[in-house]
Amino acid sequence: MESVLLKRLSAGDILLCDGAMGTELQKRGLKRGECPELMNIEQPQIVQSIYRDYYAAGSDIVETNSFGGTRSRLSHYDLQDQAYRLNREAARLAKEVCPEGRFVAGSMGPTGAILEPYGELSVDEAVDQFKEQAEALAEGGVDIFFIETMITLEEMGAAIQAVKSVSDLPVAATFTFELGPTGIHTNWGVDVPSAVRFLTEQGVDILGANCGEGIDVILRTVQEMRKLTDLPILAQPNAGLPEIKNEVIVYHETPEAMREKIKELLALQINILGGCCGTSASHIKMMRELIDGKGQ
Ligand SMILES: [Zn+2]
């Protein structure tokens, strides 16, 4: 099967992804302790309005509201038995509003459980959970899978294996990195060279970094990655680190604050750009302008 999205990347196009989902749902009424994915069946019009806003802001790719759609994660809300339906609806709602020539990415985040040998969840069980999620997202009509915010090779590997066992669609895989005293690595100690080597061996189509501490760390991470790989690179920075003010979570990196660093990212021949926590349609508009060569 030939992917239009991958063809566009090999033709040299830079594709623009969307911004945050979680923080946008909170702005539109999701309360602390409520399940974001439940909105796909209880308030589909809200989820669709976020998808629409991102397409209208210029996103080529919008991610489904399914980041926490694994059984382990949904079990926090006693919704594990709804996993298939919640994921399928996340994708179906996006597909319904996706304009011609643009794309839907099936978002898959960590299970929230720690994998063996350090924790309770077996690798087989993790693979099964990711398989169920990937099958549902594929049925809902996604064009690509985004496996994101991973911090261990074990869980990343389980997710990639699961996706590849149920679908031929392209796979993008991103870790969340932070800057420590010994350089850039995930919270579980995966450094950039190990991440690139692992993802390349696993046969992903696109690799990169998402979430984390904001644009500076993402920029340094992509600089390291670009030296190590010719694969397409995806970067979705947070709008800085979250801070709680009067019980409300705020992010400080406005579109203007990020603008110069986004230019630097583009200069590194990044292939897919977007935003993670705290970014909104206004960040995406700024990125659209820069990709289109306006406002340089
Ligand atoms: Zn994030």
215 Cα: distance to centroid of ligand 1 (angstroms): 12
Count other C-beta atoms under 10 Å from residue 56's C-beta.
Answer: 13
Going from the Cα of 281 to the center of ligand 1, the distance in angstroms, rounded, reads 15
Cα(241) to centroid of ligand 1, in Å? 9
Would you list the domain boundaries of the chain? 4-290
Using DSSP bridges, classify how beta strands 103-108 and 144-150 pair: parallel, antiparallel or unpaired. Answer: parallel
What is the 283 CA–ligand 1 centroid distance (Å)?
Answer: 14
Pick from 107, 22, 52: nearest CA to 278:
22
Q: And the tokens for 15?
A: 């594709």
**Residue 277, annotated ligand binder?**
yes
In degrees rounded to 5, what are phi and psi of residue 245?
Answer: -125, 120
Token pair of 169 as six digits: 């669609």
Query: What is the Cα–Cα distance from 53 to 268, expressed in whole angstroms?
Result: 28
Tens digit of each residue's pLDDT, the chain (296 residues):
689 999 999 999 999 999 999 989 999 999 989 999 999 999 999 999 999 999 999 999 999 999 999 999 999 999 999 999 999 999 999 999 999 999 999 999 999 999 998 899 999 999 999 999 999 999 999 999 999 999 999 999 999 999 999 999 999 999 999 999 999 999 999 999 999 999 999 999 999 999 998 899 999 999 999 999 999 999 999 998 888 888 777 888 999 999 999 999 999 999 999 999 999 999 999 999 999 997 55
Whole-angstrom distance, CA of residue 257 vs CA of residue 139: 39
Give, in words, the CATH class of 4-290.
alpha beta
Strands 183-185, 178-180: pairing is: antiparallel
